[in-house]
């Protein structure tokens, strides 16, 4: 009976220590995320922190508002609905021409890239060659600098949602390349 009490006590102490370590790690990493998140990006922990601190990589979710994606066009209006829509005006010899580009987020080599799903100029669909040039100009979008390695990207609740992994040191600080 005495051995059972000792075993229960040891398990209770170890459980308490693990919970305390998780709480302390969660607080430390949450502070790091808050400091690193640019305006318009909500970085959240995605799961327990303690295993991530031990392995060196913590799963996070970045929820990105349309204003953060405004860099996709110099004078563009960016909205997020079923896709990321970039609307702008281009000056031509005949006057301003409205251009609308619909983008689908994907992930390549840890970065979010946008595939052009449709593009119109004055309501006329652009040919594939011009759409490909637009996609090349957009390039890749890095979430959280070089510290986050994106794994998935999707549209949800009028935001771009990116699941990512953040490399960390054992103290919870980011380990950026």
pLDDT tens for 124-138 read 888 888 877 776 666
Per-chain mean pLDDT for the chain: 80
Instruction: Tell me what pLDDT residue 173 has.
Output: 67
Instruction: Tell me what pLDDT residue 177 has.
Output: 59
Query: What are the tens digits of pLDDT across the range 36-64?
Result: 777 778 888 888 888 887 888 889 898 88
Instruction: Tell me what pLDDT residue 108 has.
Output: 84
Query: What are the tens digits of pLDDT across the range 157-171?
Result: 999 999 988 887 766
Host H or E run for residue 137: helix 128-138
CB atoms within 10 A of CB 45: 17
For the chain, percent of residues with pLDDT exceeding 70:
85
Instruction: Tell me what pLDDT residue 144 has.
Output: 55
Q: Would strands 159-167 and 57-64 be described as parallel, antiparallel, or unpaired? A: antiparallel
Strands of the 159-167 sheet, one edge to the other = 41-45, 57-64, 159-167, 149-156
Instruction: Tell me what pLDDT residue 163 has.
Output: 92
> What tokens appear for 3 in the block?
């051995």
């Amino acid at each position: 009976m005495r051995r059972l009490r000792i075993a229960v006590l040891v398990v209770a102490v170890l459980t308490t220590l693990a919970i305390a370590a998780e709480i302390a790690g969660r607080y430390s990493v949450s502070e790091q995320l808050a400091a690193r998140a640019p305006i318009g990006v909500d970085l959240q922990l995605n799961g327990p922190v303690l295993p991530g601190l031990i392995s060196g990589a913590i799963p996070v979710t970045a929820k990105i508002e349309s204003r953060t994606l405004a860099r996709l066009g110099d004078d563009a209006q960016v909205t997020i609905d079923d896709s990321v829509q970039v609307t702008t005006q281009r000056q031509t010899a005949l006057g301003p021409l409205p251009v609308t580009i619909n983008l689908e987020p994907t992930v390549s080599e840890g970065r979010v890239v946008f595939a052009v799903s449709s593009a119109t100029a004055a309501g006329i669909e652009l040919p594939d060659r011009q759409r490909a040039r637009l996609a090349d100009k957009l390039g890749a979008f890095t979430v959280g600098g070089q510290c986050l390695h994106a794994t998935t990207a999707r549209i949800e609740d009028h935001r771009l949602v990116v699941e990512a992994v953040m490399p960390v040191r054992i103290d919870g600080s980011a380990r950026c390349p």
